[in-house]
Amino acid sequence: MTTPASTLLAAPKLNATDAARAAGVSPSTWRRAVESGCAPQPIHVLGQRRWLESDIESWIIQQNPHLADALELRRQAEAVIKKSKFRSGLRAVGGAA
């Protein structure tokens, strides 16, 4: 069973430079946004500041609500494709469709 702590430990994390790049801004703009509370706050790992990739993605979606619909459509399409491939695999081995 996956616990929230183990999920957090396994989650992709970014340093400030990579977080700024993911947000599409310069490192100095990113720093100012974090300091002003406009951007996601970092977590601390061994004294180093890291941002969860999922926090940055969520923050970008909050800033651009139209992206949420596009991401949901993509997730649904990926689920349908995955299910279709799974069913194709069952047919290939003689399983039920």
Question: What is the domain partition of the chain in residue ranges?
Answer: 1-63, 66-97
Tokens of 81: 């494709």
Q: Are strands 43-45 and 48-52 parallel, antiparallel or unpaired?
A: antiparallel
**Token representation of residue 3:** 């616990």
Output the CATH code of domain 1-63.
1.10.1660.10
Does 2 have pLDDT greater than 60? Answer: no
Spatial separation of the C-alpha atoms in residues 38 and 32, rounded to whole Å: 9
pLDDT tens-digit map of 36-93: 999 999 999 899 999 999 999 889 888 888 877 887 888 888 888 888 777 666 666 5
